[in-house]
Amino acid sequence: MINNFVKPHVVAVPFPALGHTIPLLDFAISLASSGLAITCVTTAANALRLKLQMAHAFSSGLDIRLLVLPTPLVEGLPEGVESFDQVLPEHCGLIYDLVVKLEQPFNHWLEAQVEGMNHPVCIMHDVLLGWTMEVPQKHNITRVVFNTYGAFALTLLRSAWLSASHNALEKEGDSILLSLDLPTPLRLHKHEIDTMLFDPLMLEVIGRLQSLNQGGGMLINTYEQLEPEYLQHLRNLTGKKVWSIGPVLPSTCFGGAAKDSNRGKMVDISEVKLFQWLDSQSSCSVVYISFGSQIFLTEEQSKALASGLEASGQPFIWAIKVSPKFEPRTSDTADLLDRTYLPEGFQERTRNRGLVIWGWAPQLLILSHPSVGAFVSHCGWNSMLESVALGVPLITWPIYADQHFNSKLAIKLGIGIQICQHRDGIPDKERVKDGVTLVLSKEEGKEMKRGAEKLKKMAREAVEFGGSSNVNLQDFAREMYQLHMTKTAAVRGESSKLTYCWINASEAPL
């Protein structure tokens, strides 16, 4: 049956980890704004979170909907737990099992779409999604990878893996020189790649890069001006389209202060309290601390970090991820968390200059506030990109995976310094204090701020009409329209060589 939809139908399949769903969903919303019909595939518990992020898109009448697949039973995974951030690190494998089990109901749904009127033209799936794509291939549905890692990290990851598998890692004590398939050789500490080479999820990413020539190309949440050399390198390596379409952020982010607080999850602080506090601080004086959606610091790590923060004397906002062990929270939980993760009397001593958020913070609201002058981050790619897009220099503590590479990129770009590393690292009090002081109060920090402001300007230009990311978004949308027209024409028996001409997606026929 032919697709009677006048719009091309794209199916977005995110991986259930907040660092993956958040950007894919924001991009899906941009595509819907460009005139495409979008179905976002998810499970029941994740759907509630996605709806929060989609509230604005729904109310503005965009053609975007959620497909809720039945949640498969996974032994050991409690009901309602369907995302990486809800489990302890040692149980992340269970979420991966859940994802694997979703393939069958997804294929079942897809077959029904092909029979019916909603024939999708493209499956846009997360880079970590290890499903075979036989069903889309069978029905000639294009597959495009959505990448939540940067081009620099992807290139290094691929080089490290290739070098290791060809026994070509050039080791010298604890240091390794990576040079295979890189535009410029890079020296790393062995710990910076060791864990990655054996991480099944990272292997999935590399596999995706290796098999890219079978797919329809790759979308990367980055922008040309941030990593031009590495984007070009990936294009040369794959011979496929590599669309840089970032930074993928809610449109309000670039039109002044960000407004979307519940991005990913409900936040654990009231906006009124947050803004009262931020507004009372002076410009660029506050350091924001967050380790993303997945990392739990140990008691020792968080106490050591707290000591350095206190010694710096600077105002801070610290979003501390709460272990599922402390859920559901009771009236005593805050006290218990305090005693467990912070030095004795810390909250009392820093009462006038510190704000601790136990749980989820509205990160974009915080980073876009003029009082915030630095971000202590694990350098998850989203956090790094958000910091860059909002002009905030980074103080890094990469923990695992691509975070080591992202931290290196921040330093290379002149907008970051590193104060600690690795999952087992214990931050040194003096190093934390000096790092925070340097970025917030020293001339070197002002230079980093100027660099971050330049990148912010470039990020904004990239997503504005005619900017590189906007042009790539339109190019992707146009490709979807062409696939749609070709498919429709083929079913009608018309020539598949239709010339379909329009300037940008907003002018496409609706």
The token pair that represents 162 in the structure block: 């290739």
Give the count of beta carbons closer than 10 Å to the beta carbon of residue 179: 14
Give the contacts of 298 (CB within 8 A, at least 6 positions apart). none
Instruction: Please write down the HEC assignment for all residues of 10-71.
Output: EEEECCCCHHHHHHHHHHHHHHHHCCCEEEEEEEHHHHHHHHHHHHHHHHCCCCEEEEEECC
Nearer to ligand UDP among residue 142 and residue 148 (C-beta): 148
The binding track of 296-335 with respect to ligand UDP, each residue x by CB under 6 A or -, is -----------------------x----------------
Q: Which stretch binds ligand UDP (CB under 6 A): 196-204, 287-295, 431-439, 454-462?
A: 287-295
CA–CA distance, 469 with 458 (Å, rounded to integer): 11
CB of 161 or CB of 358, closer to ligand UDP:
358
Which H, E and C letters describe 242-254, residue by residue?
Answer: EEECCCCCCHHHH
Q: Please, what's the largest Cα pairwise distance for the chain?
A: 76
CB-nearest residue to ligand UDP = 19
Q: Does 386 bind ligand UDP (CB under 6 A)?
A: yes
Ordered DSSP codes for 417-485? EE---STT----HHHHHHHHHHHHHSHHHHHHHHHHHHHHHHHHHHHSTTSHHHHHHHHHHHHHHHHHH
- What is the per-residue binding string for ligand UDP in 335-374, x denoting contact by CB under 6 A? -------------------------xx-x-----------
Looking at the Cβ atoms of 55 and 168, the one nearer to ligand UDP is: 55
Q: Which is nearer to ligand UDP, 373 or 398 (CB)?
A: 398
To 10 degrees, the CA torsion angle through 307, 308, 314, 318? -70
Q: Is residue 261 close enough to count as binding ligand UDP by CB under 6 A?
A: no
Q: In angstroms, give the least distance from the CB of 82 to ligand UDP.
A: 16
Single-letter amino acid, residue 225? Q
Reduce the DSSP state of residue 390 to 3 states and report it.
Answer: coil
**Residues binding ligand UDP: number (CB under 6 A):** 18
Determine contact, residues 253/343, Cβ cutoff 8 Å.
no
CB of 22 or CB of 448, closer to ligand UDP: 22
Q: Judged by CB under 6 A, which stretch of 18-26, 60-68, 101-109, 422-430 contacts ligand UDP?
A: 18-26
Q: Site for ligand UDP (CB under 6 A): which residue of 223, 254, 318, 381?
A: 381
404 binds ligand UDP (CB under 6 A): no
Q: Is 86 in the site for ligand UDP (CB under 6 A)?
A: no
Closest contact distance (angstroms) between CB of 85 and ligand UDP is: 7
Q: How many alpha carbons lie under 13 Å from residue 90 in its C-beta half-sphere?
A: 3
CA angle 22, 26, 30 (to 5 degrees): 170
* Beta-strand pair 170-172/142-147: unpaired
DSSP 74-91: -TT--TT--SGGGS-GGG
Q: Would you say 445 and 320 are in contact if contact means Cβ atoms under 8 Å apart? A: no
Question: Do 323 and 350 form a contact (C-beta atoms < 8 A)?
Answer: no
Is the Cβ of residue 105 or residue 359 nearer to ligand UDP in the bound state?
359
Binding residue for ligand UDP, selected from 33, 34, 294, 312, defined by CB under 6 A: 294
Rule CB under 6 A: say whether 12 interacts with ligand UDP.
no
Judged by CB, which is closer to ligand UDP: 277, or 481?
Answer: 277
Q: Of 115-123, 221-229, 292-300, 418-426, which part binds ligand UDP (CB under 6 A)?
A: 292-300
From the list 35, 120, 354, 380, which residue makes contact with ligand UDP (rule: CB under 6 A)? 380
Residue 123: which H helix or E strand, with range?
strand 122-126
Least distance CB 367 / ligand UDP (angstroms): 8
382 binds ligand UDP (CB under 6 A): yes
398 touches ligand UDP (CB under 6 A): no
Choosing from 21, 39, 290, 486, the residue that interacts with ligand UDP (CB under 6 A) is 290
Question: Which stretches of the chain bind ligand UDP, using CB under 6 A?
Answer: 18-19, 22, 263-264, 290, 292-294, 319, 360-361, 363, 380-383, 386
